[in-house]
Structure 1
Amino acid sequence: MKKVRKAVFPVAGLGTRFLPATKTVPKEMLTVVDRPVIQYVVDEAREAGIEHFIFVTGRNKGNIEDYFDLQFELNETLAQRGKTAQIELLQSMQPAAGTTSFTRQQEPLGLGHAVWCARDLVGDEPFALLLPDMIMRSNISCMRGMVELYEETGSNVIAVAECDPAETHKYGIVGAGEKAGAGFEITGMVEKPKPADAPSNLYINGRYILQPEIFGLLATQARGAGNEIQLTDAMLRLGDTQRLFGYHYRGETYDCGSPEGFVEANLAFALGRADLRPQIETIVRRLAG
């Protein structure tokens, strides 16, 4: 069983729900408190032991590559001003040389196509896939728990969380079978089912560990919903020959792809910081009238 060393981050999306801000700023670079959304997602992968970070980008996404690069002028200015704490913070977030790769998704053909674009960088290895819109907070990170389940099962792992049973029509829902460690074997996947037809209230929340055979399936995957190549369709086919396991994530998830989720994440992470909580609580009380 090969170790999960690489992670793919599909960051080519246009961010139309955040226009006009995303005309020039990638949605992944919008900040939650004082760091970009993508930093939280990369930190989660790194904490789980990921060694190589692969970004599938698009036009006007150069800011992401620059962000993860070393900025000599900034570091030199901070050093001259004695800003030791800020230098140490930046160094702690800096990926090591040679551990980031960038490739282009030239057309917006869906998540499945974005994953397929990373095939040569991933190679013949299992890999993690983290959707950059979703940031999470828990005692044990979602991806770390998934890696532990992968090491127990040696197969594909998909993170799921509970939603309101009345809202299954908003998500991809899985069926839960026999338990396995901190998860269970997935018996099926349904895209946005009506509550009466849903096999459970467990929705796919944007974290995956997949075997490399998914690339061959994506290469032949017909276009699905939205005339795009859907990852879910390929995973259903993968389930015909390999086992799929669900990791039941019980922490907090913030969908920063929507304005309301983005605002909620800012509030939650600000309140979670001891240096900001008193001021934020004062602001909230004042706004509440």
Structure 2
Amino acid sequence: MVKKAVIPAAGYGTRFLPATKSSPKEMIPIIDTPVIQYVVEEAVESGITDILMIIGKGKRAIEEHFDRSPILEETLEKKNNLEMLEKIKAISEMANIHFVWQKEMNGLGDAILHAKHHVGNEPFVILLGDTLVQSENGPVTKQLIDVYKQQKGSVIALEEVKPELVSRYGVVDGDAVSENVIRAKNWIEKPSFEEAPSNLAVASRYLFTPEIFSYLETTEPGKNNEIQLTDAMREMVKNHPMFGLKFKGKRYDIGNKLGFLKTNIEFGLNDPEIGDELKGWLKEFAGEL
């Protein structure tokens, strides 16, 4: 059974400065809920009970968000706002959440290495803390777990991207096992259009067997002098079965301003409280452009 998750959330969020000078980018809200809470909810809905977050300097607000807030709870209770009180309590009760500090920003691979002792000799999932994924077939993390049970190997979420955009992503080179599952032969980080073996890009959700740690430990710093997870994956696939799952759905990249705004609009349109009013305003506003 896969019960442990790792959520890297130590990055500086420089693309959202000055907002992220004192507030973590993972705490930026989509409507009224921080991005990282959506990520934790996906993990919990997938059967995960134990979550380790990798955080860094200036990320204390993440810890506080998932902790109890007795004064706030008491205030809500006095105001008889019981619905919000239950929502606030539920945040701290979703899962067993632990934190470890990445003291230096040495790349995603280094962040994952910080989880070695917590994970132990178990398979585990990774959910990037600044990216949301939605699928018509349920939580993408749950889908990775289902493929792992069938194939007995690491599984990486994949999304189709426009061929001219492959140079922005890590992509898979492999052969189809089924309609949506690829057996990986190689992982290539940001290939040129001409070099890309596919347009199936890594989509911020991973399931690894514990062997990944031994490869991360021997991976030399790569791009930006950081330990890159893709470099370790490229070595691991030579000796261990790895698969890609082409999920049906959409990835929302909250790590850039335009993606953040688009995500808020899409989620707002689906929000039962404000959706209709927002739709009417957008139609009116679009007519004035």
Structure 1 and Structure 2 fold alike (TM over 0.5)? yes
- The whole-number CA distance in structure 1 between the counterparts of 2:233 and 2:181 is 18
Q: Distance in 1 between matches of 2:20 and 2:27?
A: 9
Task: In structure 1, give the amino acid aligned to 2:166.
Answer: T
Aligned CA RMSD, in angstroms, stands at: 1.3
- 1:33-65, Cα deviation, whole Å (9 max, x unpaired): 010000111111111000101000101111000
How far the C-alpha of 1:166 sits from its partner, in A, is 1.3
Counterpart check, 1:113 vs 2:110: yes
| Number of residue pairs the alignment of both structures matches | 286
Q: Structure 1: which 5+ runs fail to align?
A: none
Partner SS for 2:51: strand
Match of 2:219 among 221, 227, 240: 221
1:36 aligns with 2:34: yes
Give 1:178 shift. Answer: 3.1
Given that 1:152 and 1:181 are in contact with CA atoms closer than 8 Å, whether structure 2 keeps it comes out as no
Which runs of no fewer than 5 residues in structure 2 stay unpaired? none
Q: State the 1:274 CA deviation.
A: 2.2
Q: In structure 2, what is the Cα distance between the partners aligned to 1:229 and 1:200?
A: 24
Structure 1 outlier segments of 4+, above 4 Å: none
**Partner residue of 1:16?**
14
- Contact 1:217/1:238, CA 8 A, preserved across alignment: yes
Which of 145, 148, 151 aligns to 2:146? It is: 148
The residue aligned with 1:137 is 134
CA contact (8 A) 2:10 2:54 kept: yes
Q: Is this contact kept in 2: 1:149–1:182, CA < 8 A?
A: no
**One-letter amino acid of the structure 2 residue matched with residue 260 of structure 1:** L
CA distance in 2, matches of 1:281, 1:261: 19
Query: Take 1:245 and 1:182, find their aligned partners in 2: how far apart are those partners?
Result: 10
SS in 2 for 1:196: coil
**TM-score scaled by length of structure 2:** 0.96
CA positional deviation for 1:91: 3.0
Match of 1:167 in 2: 165
Report if the CA contact (8 A) 2:44-2:94 is conserved: no
Percent of aligned positions that are identical: 38
In structure 2, distance between residues paired with 1:94 and 1:177? 42
**Cα deviation, residue 120, structure 1:** 1.0
- Residue 244 (str. 1) matches residue 235 (str. 2): no
What TM-score, normalized to structure 1? 0.96
Shift of 1:125: 0.8
Specify which of 245, 253, 256 is matched with residue 254 of structure 2: 256
How far, CA to CA, are the matches of 2:36 and 2:176 in structure 1? 34
Asked if the contact 2:180–2:246 (Cα under 8 Å) also holds between the matched residues in 1, the reply is yes
Distance between the aligned counterparts of 1:205 and 1:108, measured in 2? 21
